[in-house]
Chain A
Amino acid sequence: MKGTTKYDALVVGSGIGGMESALKLGDMGYKVLVVEKDASVGGKMILLSKVFPTLDCASCISTPKMAATIHHPNIDVLTYAEVDGIRANGDGTYRARITQRPKFIDEAACTGCRQCEMACNVAVPDEFNADLVSRRAAYIAFPQAVPKKAVIDRAGISPCTGACPAGIKAHGYVARVRSGEYEQAFDLVLEATPLVGSLGRACYAPCESECTRGELEGPLPIRRLKRFIADAHYGRGRDGDPEAVAIEQNGKKVAVVGSGPAGLTAALQLARKGYGVTILEAAEQAGGMLRLGIPAYRLPNEVIDHDISNVTALGVEIRTGVRVDDPAGLKDDGFDAVLVATGTHKAVRLRVPGEELDGVRSALTFLADVKLGKDVGLSGKKVLVVGGGNVAIDAARSARRLGAASVDQVSLECCEEMPAHDFEVEEARAEGITLHDGWGIDHFEGDGRLQAAEIKVCTCVFDPDGRFHPEYDETQRDIIACDVVIVAAGMRADTETFGLETNGDHTLVADPGTLQTAVPHIFAAGDVVTGPTMITTAVGQGRRAAFMIDRYLQGQVLDPGLFDEPLPVVDKDTVLARQQVYDRREPLESNAVMRAAPTDFEETEGPMTEDEAFLGAARCLDCGVCSECHACVDVCPADAIKLDDRPVAIEAEVGTVVLATGFNLFPADAKPQYGYGRFKNVITGMQMDRLLAPTRPYNAVLRPSDGKVPDNIAYIMCTGSRDETVDNPLCSKICCMYSVKQNQLIMGALPLADVTVYYIDVRSVGKGYDEFYQQARDMGCNFVKGRVSGITETEEGNLTLRYEDIENGGALAEAEHDLVVLAVGVQPSRGVAELFAGNGDALALDDHYYVGEVDEDLDPGRTNLPGVFVAGAAAGAKDIPDSILHAGAAVAQAAAHLERARVADEAKAKVPS
């Protein structure tokens, strides 16, 4: 349903009041639109056990009405939808703005089989069971829901996932680990990239910087959990390479130039889609900077091999030692598209005197030689590393491991401003590297062969516009003796021969959204486009490029908006406000082992144990609610999960509005003397109705504290009603009778249980109600006239009630029970008046904030706004028969309004112009 639609009537809310209004109007021939905010129609009535005084089963009598409402030819129903505002057109008609919230399910395909909720990894309190049990992020509201379709509860993208430039579902794999589904966690990361193991070790983890738990005791170990699932997968006896997967080929070929994170990721994605992918790599071994830059103590070669085997298993051919100088020319070799992902492998020179001396070398070639196992001859040498970034730290720590006599490091920036991460600087220091921060190189000295470096104090690294422009205090100088200098002054793209347009820093010019270059069949991704970044950014670029190349080769429009179109990231304050208190759960300490003089390239960080992984994942707050773990996607037999669903704005022109938004229950914790929320065996009347319903949260009526069948139950009437201390002088009308109903049902279900009702007076006004009350007394329910002043809890979880025993002279008395039910009253539902905000006339509420009726006695259902009517408990506390009667009155008014308008229109039409 899109655009503006026209209806005779809009009914807001689909409880018994709303359904009754819609059905009657529909039967009269009017076109009706019902908007319900929950995922099912039915309101509160469908959640009840039985109804007083007939003791008919509530769901047996509700479900036919729910089905009739949904299937009525004159009624359209929007569930899980919200009315944002209703505007008067000035002629008695209205225009409503409605948002259909995304359900993330293809309703037409969903069969209501519950497979998604059975598989879902996120548990939240079940509001349809009054929070007595859990539901899942993917859920069908309750067994008799109409429509019986799942919805997925998504508050937004979780901050961790939102922060991942690679588009990896961080929250998803955390949730999978928490459920012990390690293989599925691995597969979820593999959906985005083959580099599960490499990212698990060497990613700088922007996800952790954004983790909401970081606002409490510290973030989750999200990166290390990825390492854990990679270790578990690669170590699980699948010795060597994964099995080859046969994918149906589409006949088209793509060349990927460069086998770093961007190239490997793109290759995996394209191969999955059936392209014949060949990776052309200039170096002797595949892996790009993973292989050539990151030292083995952070990322061992075997891990890279395993990651690459995820790509080759799909039939991707990797040709190493092949340098491509002319990407466009690859077309002649039969490639339909080319991805240039060549990274930044050219070292930036320092441009200081003496740089050409024997002994001065670049960090890039140094690290590559070390990683490829070549002898770099540092043993016993005095090494000086120049630079303050990650590469410089990697070079210094590698030199330390190769037996250098000493390793000094000079950085222009002072320690706090160095581009390297703080933890890297700390680890370098712990390994015995001497850091000279805030110094720059003046020149190198030597006689053909390097002997020393003269350094000078750097006073400022950047100019006021943030450009690199170091300034020095030429008077403060020092000399560092050295045999070898390793320069890590930056790196740049090596693109001169490509014949493609470049930027001033040699990066390739490509459209940032589509990554297409000016040559249509050539795309570019990774550091060669962005300049030096990090693995995860390059992975994200590789995914994007593959998506776009696929569209290009299929002749589709390259629309950046179609790639990973995400929901907004959920606000951390909103997440934290879901709980009032948090259990302290300390973050996992790093287990990196720092040795003062390391002599080998053993990994410094150890693996996580299963317990550590489990406890680490258990700290997750499920920020976005749904974790995007794809468990539901995996199991849904109807292929109905649609995680890319988005809200739809709808406008409706309506002739009349019926407000049937019902009521809220009194929040029982607003009477702290009764201990609701603190004492586990103090529950509300709604919770007891759920315990008695056939679709109950427990297998029987049990105590929430320990699952014991209660045998001595107390009811406290008028909780939150007729009570000035909570600002509600009104009688709620329904609590006496629902308590009497529950008393009878309990005595039926638990014949041995004693039931005591503490009351002020029992209000049983209505046909057959007093007889119903008497019947409860006759069945043995004990009615004690007395106001309960407070409750305390015994060690066994029983409850001691203190009350004024009115029938025995008002003496204070005490009694012990093992379950207490608070017969909570009702409150007006919130936000109804706001629907009409911005109109000249506001919707008038009564003194108690229910929707006001201009004349309750003579004109029920009519509000102060012409054409707007109120039905059911939205106008004040009502039981089901009264709600139905009241809806009838409101509907008659609404129909009269519509008819008056029609007659006036017809009269106007008849007047000759």
Chain B
Amino acid sequence: MTQATETRRPVIRDAVPGRRDVREVVRDEQVMRRRILEVLAGGPMTVPEIAAAVERPTHEVMFWVMGLRKYGWVAEIKEVDDDGYYRYQVVEREGS
């Protein structure tokens, strides 16, 4: 099989919630960071609450919040709420 026939042409399509490529969702972390930090400035929130505030699907917000957590922008509050969700808050970033 040659390289050319192996390369599948990508499909562009209008946003179908829940069907975006993981790579694309992850890439958007840099874009969504500001929005998420803005909404968290009002106090800690769960992933579904953040998703409602930024109007994006919860599973995408999960990637972004966990990325922001990994890179020191947000951290969880230790206790889980009654519905089984952690809340996340903005933290002072190392070096900032």
Is A273 close to B, CB under 8 A?
no
Are A134 and B20 interface neighbours, CB within 8 A?
no
* Number of residues from B at the complex interface, CB < 8 A: 50
Is A815 an interface residue when CB atoms closer than 8 A count as contact?
no
Known contacts A117-B71, A134-B67; is A707 also within 8 Å of B86 by CB?
Answer: yes
Binary contact readout A123-142 vs B (1 if CB under 8 angstroms, 0 otherwise): 11100000111101000000
Contact B71 A118 (CB under 8 A): yes
11 pairs of residues in contact across A and B, judged by CB atoms under 8 Å: A216-B12, A580-B10, A582-B21, A584-B15, A678-B19, A697-B66, A706-B58, A707-B47, A708-B83, A708-B85, A709-B86
Q: Which of A115, A179, A578 contacts B23 (CB 8 A)?
A: A578
A473 to B34, CA, bound (A): 64
Q: A-B pairs with CB below 8 Å: how many?
A: 136
**Which 5 pairs from chain A and chain B are nearest by CB?**
A707-B47, A706-B58, A134-B67, A579-B21, A680-B59
| Most B Cβ at <10 Å: residue of A581, A584, A635 | A581
Contact with A along B1-26 (1 / 0, CB 8 A): 00010011111111100111111101
B residues in contact with A577, CB < 8 Å:
7-8, 10
Q: Which residues of chain B come closer than 8 Å to A678, judged between CB atoms?
A: 18-19
- How many whole Å from B60's CB to the nearest CB in chain A? 10
| CB of B84 within 8 Å of the partner chain | yes
B11 vs chain A, min Cβ distance (A): 5
- Min distance, Cβ A903 to any Cβ of chain B, angstroms: 47
Q: Is the CB of B70 within 8 A of A134?
A: yes
Cα–Cα distance between A179 and B83 once the two chains are bound (Å):
33
Q: Which residues of B contact A124 (CB under 8 A)?
A: 23, 26-27
B96 to chain A, nearest CB (A): 9
A578: chain B residues within 8 A (beta carbon): 23
Q: How far is the CB of A497 from chain B (nearest CB, A)?
A: 54
The residue in chain B whose Cβ has the minimal distance to the Cβ of A710 is B84
Given contacts A582-B10, A678-B19, 5 further A-B contacts (CB under 8 A): A118-B93, A577-B7, A579-B10, A584-B13, A709-B84
Q: Mark A273-316, 1 if CB is under 8 A from B, else 0.
A: 00000000000000000000000000000000000000000000
CB pair B13–A581 under 8 Å, yes or no, is yes
Point out residues on A near B: beta carbons under 8 Å: 115, 117-118, 121-125, 131-134, 136, 175, 178-180, 216-217, 573-574, 576-584, 614, 617-618, 621-622, 635, 678, 680, 697-700, 702, 704-711
- Bound form: Cα–Cα A443–B74 in Å: 75
What distance in Å separates the Cβ of B86 from its nearest Cβ neighbour in chain A?
A: 6
Main secondary structure of the interface of A (DSSP, over half): loop
Distance in Å: Cβ of B16 to nearest Cβ of chain A: 9
Expressed in whole angstroms, the minimum distance between the Cβ of A705 and any Cβ of chain B is: 5
Contact with A along B62-89 (1 / 0, CB 8 A): 1101110111100110001001111000
For residue B72, which residues in chain A have a CB less than 8 angstroms away from its CB? 118
- Which residues from A are CB-within-8-Å of B42? none
A705–B58 touching, CB < 8 Å: yes
Q: Flag B24-39 by CB within 8 Å of A: 1 or 0 each.
A: 1011111101100000
Collect the chain A residues with CB atoms within 8 Å of residue B84's CB: 708-711
Contact (Cβ within 8 A) B21 A178: no
Residues of B within 8 A of A217 (CB): 12
A622 to B30: give the CA distance in the assembly, Å: 12
Smallest CB separation, B91 vs chain A (Å): 12
Nearest opposing residue in chain B for A121, CB measure: B30
Whether B30 contacts A175 by the Cβ 8 Å rule is yes
Contacts of B94 in A (CB 8 A): 118
Question: Bound state CA distance, A229 and B48, in angstroms?
Answer: 34
